[in-house]
Amino acid sequence: MPATDDNLLGVYLRDRRTRLDPAAFGLPLARRRTPGLRREEVAQRANVSATWYTWLEQGRGGAPSADVLDRISQALMLAEVEREHLYLLALGRPPEVRYQASETVSAQLQRVLDAFPLSPAYVKTSTWDVLAWNSAAAAVLTDYSTIPAEQRNILRVIFCEPRFRSVQTHWDQVARFAVAAFRADVARAGAGKTVKALVDELSRLSPEFEAIWRANEVRSTYGEVAKTLRHPLAGPITLEYSAFAVEGRPDLDMVVYNPATPEDFGRVRSLLAALEKASI
C-alpha cells in the first residue's frame, strides 16, 4: 500500500528517503528500481523493524515515540527544521528543545552586521553570549574584541563592567529588563543547566544581579525599545532597540540599535570618524 496524499507523514518520510544517495552510505547502486534508500535500509539505520517502518510510511504503524522519531531523523539525515516538521506530522507537536551552544556565525551573517555602518548591531546566542558585532557596536556600546571570547556575555558586561553602567541613563531599568529577557530566552532554549554556572558566578559578584534574578521576572526580547546613552566622547545618543530571530538559526538573535534622530546619526558618524582617524 503506497503512502497517499492524505497520509502526510508517510508522504514526507518517503520523500526524504528517496532524496538520499545510497552511495553516500556505502550501499550498492545496482538493482534499484527507485531512487534513494530502500525502506529496509532506513529501518536498519534507525534500528527499527523493517515491517514496522513500512507500516509507518503506509499510515498503519501508529504514533511512534519521540526516541524512534529521533532515530528516524538521524537515519534520514534530517536538518533541525526537517526534524521539527517530522514531529509535527507524527505527534502534532514540535520536539522538546535541545540547546546547542554556538561559537561562530557565518561570513554572510557578519556581512549583514557590517551593512549597518551607523547602527550598532550584534548577534547573540540564547544564553546571551555575543558572537559577532559591527564597528558601530564596538564604538558606541562595547568593544567585545577587548573581552576574552569566553567572557563575552551581555549580563557580565551589564553587571561587571563599570563603563557600561556609567553610560546608562537608567541602568537599573536596563538591568531588570535584561535579566527578565535573559530568563525567558534561556527557558525557551532549554538551556537552564547551561547557564547555571553563569548565574551562580554573577550572583556571587553582584548582589544586584542576585536580587533581580530572585524576582523571577520574565520579559520578551522582541519588540521596540528606545534608550539614551551618555557616551564619554560623543555625548548623549538615543538608540532604538530591535531584536530579530536569525532565519535557520533558532539559537541566535540579531540585535540592532538604530539612532533615533538625524542628530543621533550625526553623533555616531562623528564618533566613528574620530576613532578611525585616531587609529591611523
202-254: pLDDT as tens digits: 999 999 999 999 999 988 766 667 889 999 999 999 999 998 888 878 789 99
The predicted structure's pLDDT at residue 104: 84
Residue 101 within any structural domain of the chain = no
Separation between Cα atoms, residue 252 and residue 237, nearest integer Å = 27
Whether residue 4 is predicted with pLDDT greater than 60 in this model: the reply is no
- Pick the last residue of a domain from 38, 67, 91: 91
Same domain, 76 and 213: no
Same domain, 72 and 113: no
The predicted structure's pLDDT at residue 6: 63
Q: Is 54 helix (H, G, I), strand (E, B) or coil?
A: helix
Residue 191 within any structural domain of the chain = yes
Separation between Cα atoms, residue 61 and residue 146, nearest integer Å = 57
Same domain, 136 and 254: yes
Whether residue 102 is predicted with pLDDT greater than 80 in this model: the reply is no
Same domain, 212 and 87: no
Whether residue 2 is predicted with pLDDT greater than 70 in this model: the reply is no
Same domain, 137 and 230: yes
Same domain, 83 and 214: no
Q: What is the CATH number of the domain that holds 50?
A: 1.10.260.40
CA distances in angstroms from 128 to 116, 132, 248, 274, listed in the order given: 21, 12, 18, 30
| Percent of residues, the chain, with pLDDT higher than 90 | 69
Same domain, 128 and 70: no
- How many Cα neighbours within 13 Å face the side chain of 78? 24
Residue 196 within any structural domain of the chain = yes
Same domain, 206 and 80: no
pTM of structure: 0.70
Whether residue 5 is predicted with pLDDT greater than 60 in this model: the reply is no
- For residue 228, the enclosing domain spans 107-279
Residue 96 within any structural domain of the chain = no
The predicted structure's pLDDT at residue 100: 65
pLDDT band at 1 (very low <50, low <70, confident <90, very high): very low
Same domain, 246 and 170: yes
- Closest to 20 measured CA to CA, from 80, 72, 98, 94: 72
- Pick the last residue of a domain from 56, 91, 126: 91
Q: How many domains in the chain?
A: 2
Reduced 3-state DSSP string for 155-208:
HHHHHHCHHHHHHECCHHHHHHHHHHHHHHHHHHHCCCCCCHHHHHHHHHHCHH
pLDDT band at 97 (very low <50, low <70, confident <90, very high): low
User: Own/partner pairs for 85-88, CB < 8 Å, 24+ apart?
Assistant: 85/12, 86/9, 86/12, 86/13
Mean pLDDT value across residues 83-95: 90
Q: Do you know the residue count of the chain?
A: 280
Same domain, 65 and 203: no
- Pick the last residue of a domain from 35, 64, 91: 91
Residue 173 within any structural domain of the chain = yes
Residue 185 within any structural domain of the chain = yes
Q: 52: buried, middle or exposed (CB in 10 Å: 19+, 13-18, 0-12)?
A: middle
Residue 49 within any structural domain of the chain = yes
Same domain, 151 and 223: yes
pLDDT band at 86 (very low <50, low <70, confident <90, very high): very high
pLDDT in tens, 163-182: 999 999 999 999 999 999 99
Same domain, 75 and 111: no
Whether residue 276 is predicted with pLDDT greater than 70 in this model: the reply is yes
Q: What is the CATH number of the domain that holds 268?
A: 3.30.450.180
Residue 98 within any structural domain of the chain = no
